[in-house]
Structure 1
Amino acid sequence: MDNAEKTVDRRQLFKDLFAFMGNTVADYAQKKVNRIMPKGEYLRPPGAVEEAEFLSLCTRCDECIKVCPAKAIKRSTGLADVAIGTPVIIPKESPCVLCNGLLCSAACKEGALKPIERVDNVRIGIAKINRSQCLAWGDQDCQLCFIKCPLRGDAIYQEDGKPVINPDKCVGCGVCEHACHTINTICAIKITTKR
């Protein structure tokens, strides 16, 4: 074996070694993220990419927070969580109002939030109604979630005066949860992620 063959073999050895080390580090990091970060807990602004990619792209620049006209986007807080400082929506405090132009998505220059052409294509999460806690399902006259929904008739409709969520049309903006929270001691609607 001459020196040229030895060099090639040595190069391939280092390539293989670095590839192995890189994959090992990536697997370890993903396991850490999975342990630290509860899956599906965060409601992200409109246009958010998949959670792991979102965390790698979001620089915590706060541009989406600054442009939100409803002040719905806040910085995530917590203890030892990889998502600290990233933008989240907490509907019971302030829901996404699906503003004209979806300013948050347009403000993101890093690609963590992708542009969305139509509001009915937004997918923040999905509303779930706990019928045992809902005033309308308890035979009281309440239509607030239905009235407030920006996609009323599509995302939420009524059957015999009772609200029903259409999971295929609900964008998870949280307006219904916020409305319910304002009149009920125990909120009957909760937005959960679809991830």
Structure 2
Amino acid sequence: MDDAGKILDRRQLFKNLFVFVGDKVADYASKRIDRVMPRGDYLRPPGAVEETEFLSACTRCDECIKACPAKAIKRYQGVMDVAVGTPVIMPRENPCVLCNGLLCIAACKDGALKPVAHANNVKMGIAGITESRCLAWGGQDCQLCYIKCPLQGDAIIQEDGKPVINEEKCVGCGVCEYACHTINNTCAIKVTAKREGSYTG
């Protein structure tokens, strides 16, 4: 092999080495971000601002937790996560009941929870129904999610005795998910958190 060939081989070796090291660094950074950033499978209290702003504004003072009459708001207990200590709602444990006056918002002095004109304007998330797990969709007589919904007839409607979510009206309180979970081992309803534009005045 001549000198030119050796130089080309050496260049290719270094090129491959840089690519390998770059890939490893990117992979490490990605895994680190996954550990630090919140998983996002929880809901914020009513009136929560966009997630990045929320994490910056919330001082973890627990005032919204203390004010919640339904005891639905809890401190997030994640590990190595920037959201640790922030207020969250886990619907299957305790949903938001959209209490009169939305007391958690009134208790927040940090601007992490903004006032909303009415409970109908809250946007914590959106419920979704897995029809294959739903008792009503399976032909059984079940209307529990519909009956328990605080916005009955708006957020959840019935079509031929089957529940249907109106995504535009659903506020993501989680009452339907909680209700379904109490009677259905496989739970047909899951509320997905809404992370941006999470409140409307």
Q: TM-score range by the shorter chain?
A: 0.7 to 0.9
Conserved in 2, the CA contact under 8 Å of 1:156 and 1:170? yes
Kindly state the Cα deviation for residue 194 of structure 1 after the two structures are TM-superposed.
Answer: 2.2
Q: Distance in 1 between matches of 2:163 and 2:95?
A: 19
Residue 82 in structure 1 maps to residue 82 in structure 2: yes
Residue 164 in structure 1 maps to residue 167 in structure 2: no
Q: Distance in 2 between matches of 1:157 and 1:40?
A: 27
Corresponding residue of 2:9: none
1:17-96 equivalent positions in 2, closer than 5 A: 36-38=36-38, 40-96=40-96
Q: Distance in 2 between matches of 1:61 and 1:112?
A: 11
Closer/same/farther in 2, CA of residues 48 and 34 from structure 1, 3 Å limit: farther
Deviation sequence 1:136-181 (CA, Å, 0-9, x none): 0000000000000000000000000000000000000000000000
Q: Distance in 1 between matches of 2:33 and 2:47?
A: 22
Higher relative contact order by CA 8 Å / sep ≥ 6: 1 or 2? Answer: 2
Kindly state the Cα deviation for residue 87 of structure 1 after the two structures are TM-superposed.
Answer: 0.2
**Partner secondary structure for residue 79 of structure 2:** coil
State which structure, 1 or 2, has the greater radius of gyration over its C-alpha atoms.
Answer: 2
Partner amino acid, structure 1, of 2:176: C
TM (norm. structure 1) is: 0.81
Kindly state the Cα deviation for residue 34 of structure 1 after the two structures are TM-superposed.
Answer: 7.0
Kindly state the Cα deviation for residue 78 of structure 1 after the two structures are TM-superposed.
Answer: 1.5
Kindly state the Cα deviation for residue 35 of structure 1 after the two structures are TM-superposed.
Answer: 6.2
Corresponding residue of 2:130: 130
Kindly state the Cα deviation for residue 49 of structure 1 after the two structures are TM-superposed.
Answer: 0.3
**Partner secondary structure for residue 132 of structure 1:** helix
Deviating above 6 A after TM superposition, structure 1's stretches of 4 or more consecutive aligned residues are: 32-35
Closer/same/farther in 2, CA of residues 40 and 78 from structure 1, 3 Å limit: closer
Conserved in 2, the CA contact under 8 Å of 1:33 and 1:82? no
Conserved in 2, the CA contact under 8 Å of 1:125 and 1:171? yes
Kindly state the Cα deviation for residue 106 of structure 1 after the two structures are TM-superposed.
Answer: 0.7
| Number of positions where the alignment pairs a residue of Structure 1 with one of Structure 2 | 165
Closer/same/farther in 2, CA of residues 81 and 38 from structure 1, 3 Å limit: closer
Kindly state the Cα deviation for residue 38 of structure 1 after the two structures are TM-superposed.
Answer: 4.1
Closer/same/farther in 2, CA of residues 156 and 75 from structure 1, 3 Å limit: same
Overall identity of the aligned pairs, in %: 75
Corresponding residue of 1:14: none
RMSD, aligned α-carbons: 1.5
Q: Distance in 2 between matches of 1:183 and 1:41?
A: 22
